[in-house]
Amino acid sequence: MRALMQRLFRFFLLDRTLSEDCFVLITSKSVLMSLSSLKLHNAMWPGLVGKGDDEGQEPPISLERMLDLSAGASVDGRKFDGIDYFLFLPHTNPEASDDELKAIADLIAGKGFDIGSLVAPVWPGTVGDSAMGTDEQQGKFLDAVKMACRIAKVFNEHGTRKGGVIRIDSAEFGVEQWKSNPGGGTARIVDTFKKAAQIAADHGERLAAEGEICWAGMHSWKDMLDLLEGVGMPETLGFQADLAHTYLYLMGYNAPEHALLQEGHTEDEFYAAYEQMTDKLRPWTIDFHVAQNDGEVHGAGSHDKTGKHCPADDPNGKLDISRCSQYWLKDFQDRGITHICWDGCMFSNATLENPDTWNAILKAMIGVVSD
């Protein structure tokens, strides 16, 4: 894209008969065509995260059922191109054999999907543990990253995964312990992330840390930026932006000292603050989640409260999904982004099982790449 733009600009300079309006039209169309190249993925973890057998929890929805629900969505002949998913039970055993993983890859491909970004099982209770914790906890975190890299390699070599990142977070639920020693907490997470990034680099993978208000050291836009700069490995460890979570960043939900907006703000104030936040985090952004948020937080099961994910057509949604997405996707090709993914984490099972949910989501995503 950059080379094309440069050629167009040189042509404009050489041919003075080309009007400025025509040049703007050509370059705008080029950007539009570039956005349309992005593949549309759906996340599988809404069938898993926050689900379980405990009182008050809804049961998990199987990987195959989530694939079928995704495959059933269609808007004017356009369908989802791929899926991103969480490498943990009951969807995937992170210790599965190569043959078992290839069978899962074939199942996914059989539904018409490529595999994209993978979620490493870094949380306590899965494989990993807190990136801010003891040496033993750090070791578990790094083991989870190694497992994810191994699975990615199997999928890559099997031909079913052609891009994407491996998602991580600090795996330290809540910010209270971090607040008792912010400098020490962030330094410990930086150390863990540097070691994790080296593991990923050795496997030819990139890690994306998903900023959410529930993760210590990643709970505000400023603390997230400090963490990324502390690691200082942008070629290997970047940011995963989610529209729902980053909206709560603006409001300073768990870090009022870093709020960029106050209740009762105007639309102009919103977009000025949004530009300020995205200008800081976009250079680090290597993976992108499309989502909607109504200004509320939500938690389920063992997952702490975080930015609430709402249906794409939720009448209480605060976000112009297409417009907000453009702030994050500016120059996306320079950061190696090849797909975008809808995140409906912790949707109710009734919402997940409703075909209208996925058609509305697909329509919103088409709007993102068509604007």
* Residue-wise burial string across 314-344, b where 16 or more C-beta atoms lie within 10 A, e elsewhere: eeebbbebbebbebbbeebeebebbbbbbbb
Residue 297: the pLDDT is 60
| pLDDT bracket for residue 306 (50, 70, 90) | low
Mean pLDDT is lowest, of 144-158, 182-196, 245-259, 290-304, for 290-304
Contact in structure between 73 and 362 (CB atoms under 8 Å): yes
Least reliable range by pLDDT among 219-228, 272-281, 308-317: 308-317
Q: What is the pTM of this model?
A: 0.89
The pLDDT mean for the chain works out to 89
Domain ranges in the chain? 1-36, 39-370
Confidence at residue 371, expressed as pLDDT on a 0 to 100 scale? 56
Q: Count CB neighbours of 180 within 10 A.
A: 9
* Alpha helices, DSSP H, located in the chain: 2-14, 20-36, 63-71, 98-110, 135-158, 176-180, 182-202, 221-231, 243-251, 267-281, 321-329, 349-352, 355-370
| Region 39-370: CATH code | 3.20.20.150
Could you report the per-residue pLDDT of 27-54, keeping only the tens digit for each? Answer: 444 444 489 999 999 999 999 988 898 8
Is the model's pLDDT at 130 over the cut of 90?
Answer: yes
Predicted confidence band at 244 (pLDDT cuts at 50, 70, 90)? very high
Does residue 25 carry a pLDDT above 80?
Answer: no
Write down the pLDDT at residue 55.
86
Residue 1 has pLDDT above 50, yes or no: no
